[in-house]
Structure 1
Amino acid sequence: MSTPPHSAAEVVSPDTCTHLTGADHVASLTAALGGLGEQVDTLDRWGRLIADVLCGSERGRLLAAGNGGSAAQAQHLTAELVGRYRADRPPFSAICLTAETSSLTAIANDYPADELFARQVEAHGRPGDVLVLLSTSGRSPNAVAAARRARECGITVLAMTGPAPNPLAAAADDAVCIDSPWTATVQECHLVALHLLCAGFDAAVLAGPARVPATRLGVAR
């Protein structure tokens, strides 16, 4: 006998089932997005902060990292900054630490696993830069180590995690935490959060008076 789907208002727990039906998944995502909606102002503030760093006289840099699906999302963020999100604007310096395969394999081969991102942070980051770390659990040891190393180097750490409290949120300067027990739901909300951050960044960069010279704007497409 098939099991009837759960109501849209009910979010099942991994403690009571091992997988989500389609209806369960939508209910989980809907509930988590409601919580994310309460953090929109934080993400907009992050966008302005990153604009201050990348458009400042020092022309700072953004670093990003995560594991697994979060690695792909970290790369998504840096692509939006080097390329564009919506509006045409200049490219900005953003490096995804999970995309440097030679560095990753060399570090993993020669150093403890926790150094995977921390060593790259120390190499590429400068005081005043920003590091964005993504972890659906908030407990990834290499992300926590990177956050601590970054703060030692004078780098601002912004974290996107799963439910709080967690070690990464505690190690960061600020965190957006998604209150869901399901990894897929947390990752989906992180993608929305990244787009909200990019929207805030673009609004700050392109606000009048423009933060960047008109001659540096890209050709409209």
Structure 2
Amino acid sequence: MSTAALIESHLTEHLTAVQRLPEFVPFIEDLAKRLVECLKSGGKVLFFGNGGSAADAQHLAAELVVRYRVNRAALAGIALTTDTSILTAGANDFGFDTVYARQVEALARKGDVVIGISTSGNSASVVNGLVEAKNQGCLAVAFTAEGGGRCAEVADLCFRAPSPVTARAQECHLLVGHILCDWVEKAFAS
């Protein structure tokens, strides 16, 4: 495959997935309203995932805490992927499958929104974190690829990115995440 053909195939896959995102407008609007409600009532949004999804979790939490486009008061967004002491102690003492559930147990409160990101939808650490979120009375939201996996089964809401390809799903996750951050920011900007 030539370089041009490789580039074209990536762009075609990306555009095909993104062009399907309008199907998810009701989901995005519903989740955006729930995020605003959570934050306005003093709650917080917790994000987690593994690998590239961990990076997306950190990215979206930063957009809430720092800003997306405009200066405004900081919003309570936490990435559960950043504390190496907690992650390594939890993985060592209880197994990696528990690293997000333990943090959700410790930090989440009823009414918070917990967003677990797993393109396969089957990452045990993400599934367990979502289950614990529901146990804590939080809104458990999954971002997955097209199949949804176990995350879709245990979450209250699931955004199944319209592609089975990990990279394309991650691109959709970030785009939807940015839309949510923009919506939330507009609700708090003065």
Give the TM-score, by structure 1 length: 0.81
Give the Å deviation of 1:156: 0.6
Partner-residue secondary structure (3-state), 2:78: strand
Give the CA deviation at 1:4: 9.9
Amino acid at match of 2:141: L
The whole-number CA distance in structure 1 between the counterparts of 2:60 and 2:187 is: 17
Pick one of 81, 93, 104 that aligns with 1:98.
81
How many aligned residue pairs are there?
A: 190
Task: Give the counterpart of 2:92 among 109, 118, 127.
Answer: 109
Decide which of 192, 198, 214 is 2:175's aligned counterpart: 192
Structure 2, unaligned runs of 5 or more? none
Deviation digits for residues 10-66 of structure 1, max 9, x if unmatched? xxxxxxxxxxx111111111111122221133223212211111111xx11111001
CA–CA separation in structure 2 for the residues paired with 1:192 and 1:168: 20
Q: Give yes or no for the alignment of 1:46 onto 2:31.
A: yes
Give the direction of change, closer, same or farther, for the CA distance of 1:80–1:73 in structure 2 (3 Å limit).
Answer: same
The unaligned stretches of length 5 or more in structure 1 are 7-20, 207-213, 215-221
Return the offset for 1:3. Answer: 6.4
Q: Distance in 1 between matches of 2:179 and 2:145?
A: 17
Matched, 1:156 2:158: no
4+ runs deviating over 3 angstroms:
2-6
Contact 1:70 1:135 in 2 (8 A): yes
Match of 2:11 in 1: 26
Residues 38/110 of structure 1: CA separation in 2 closer, same or farther (3 Å cut): same
SS of aligned partner of 1:39: helix
Q: TM-score, normalised by structure 2?
A: 0.94
| One-letter amino acid of the structure 1 residue matched with residue 166 of structure 2 | T
Structural RMSD (CA): 1.7
Identify the residue that residue 126 of structure 2 maps to in structure 1: 143
Q: Give, in angstroms, the shift of residue 5 of structure 1.
A: 7.0
Q: What is the distance in 2 between the residues matched to 1:85 and 1:36?
A: 21
8 Å Cα contact 2:73/2:188 also seen in 1? no
Per-residue CA deviations over 1:130-173 (Å, capped at 9, x if unaligned) read: 10111111111110011111101101111111013421012111
Which residue number in structure 2 is paired with residue 17 of structure 1? none
| % identity of equivalent residues | 39
Q: Supply the AA of the counterpart residue of 2:35.
A: I
* CA–CA distance in structure 1, aligned partners of residues 57 and 91 of structure 2: 19
Q: 1:133 to 1:4 in 2, by over 3 A?
A: closer
Matched, 1:69 2:68: no
